[in-house]
Structure 1
C-alpha cells in the first residue's frame, strides 16, 4: 500500500515523497526531508526529519492512511539514524493535532505570525 516516488536512492536531504496507493489509486501522499537546526540555548546542532506536508484524498480519510504515512516517515528516520520527527500544524487544525498526538507527537513551541497588508507603513516607503 505504501511506496515512494524515489526508486533508486533515498535522498532525505533533497526530500522524499511517500505514496499510499491501492490498486493504482492514489490514496495519500507525504513529503519528508532531513533538516538540521540549532538549539539556541544549548548552541548544539540537531538533526530531525521534517514532515513538510501530508495529504489524504477526502474519500479515504479516517481509514488509517495518514497514520500509515507517518509510520513510514518514522521508518525512514530510524533507518537514517535521525533521532526526531517534526511537523508544523496550524493552531486551528484539530484533526491533524489529534492525529499526530495519537502517533506520539507533542507540542514543543508556538509560532507567532503577523499578517502584512498592502497598505502597511512598510509598503508606503517604496
Structure 2
C-alpha cells in the first residue's frame, strides 16, 4: 500500500489567492491534452482543445462553479486534481481526476478519491459515478479497488466505461 501522508488534499479555491488558480489550470490542461492524444486527436497546445475544455483551463472558477474541486499538494506544488459535481439530484460524478505523471506512484489519486468519497458521504450523497476510457486500465483497476463497479452507460461515446459506487 502506498503511503500518502506527504500528500495534502485541499478544497479549491478555498481561501487561496487567485495566483494558485494556475496550478489547477496546468493540471486540467495536461489532463485534456493527454486525453485528446490518447483518443488519436492530439493538439499542439491548449488553443487546439474544444471550447468547453479550454474554458476549464482559462477560467476554472467559472467552469467549476458549484462543483467541489480537490487539489493534491506536495509542499506548495499542485500535483493532482479531481472535480466532484454537486448536482441538485444524485448521483455526484467524479471528473478530471489527474496526477502529474512526474508524481505518480505516490498515492495521490487514491488520496484525491478518498477525499472525494468522504466529502460525498458528509454531504449525504448516496452514489458517486464516473466514466473512464477503456484504455486507462490502471485507473480502472484503482476504481475497482475502491469499490466502483461497471454499470450501464449514461454516455454515448465509444470506449467509455461507466462505473459507480455507493457512498
Q: Could you say which residue in structure 1 is the equivalent of 2:130?
A: 87
Instruction: Count residues with an aligned counterpart.
Output: 102
After TM superposition, where is structure 1 displaced by more than 6 Å over at least 4 residues in a row? none
* 8 Å contact kept, 1:20–1:28: yes
Please, which runs of 5 or more residues in structure 1 have no aligned partner? Answer: 37-45, 115-126
Cα deviation digits, residues 27-73 of structure 1 (max 9, x gap): 1011111235xxxxxxxxx6122101101010111211001000000
Q: Which has the larger radius of gyration?
A: 1
Work out which of the residue numbers 35, 44, 61 in structure 1 matches 2:87.
35
Q: How has the CA–CA distance of structure 1 residues 106 and 17 changed in structure 2, closer, same or farther, with 3 Å as cutoff? A: same
* 1:55 correspondence with 2:107: no
Indicate the SS of the match to 1:99. Answer: helix
* Aligned position for 2:29: none
Greater strand fraction, Structure 1 or Structure 2 = 1
Of structures 1 and 2, the one scoring higher in RCO (CA 8 A, sep 6+) is 2
Whole-Å separation in 1 of the counterparts to 2:65 and 2:130: 16
SS at match of 2:112: helix
| Inter-partner Cα distance in structure 2 for 1:13 and 1:21 | 21
Cα distance between partner residues in 2 of 1:15 and 1:56: 19
Residues 1:113 and 2:141 are matched in the alignment: no
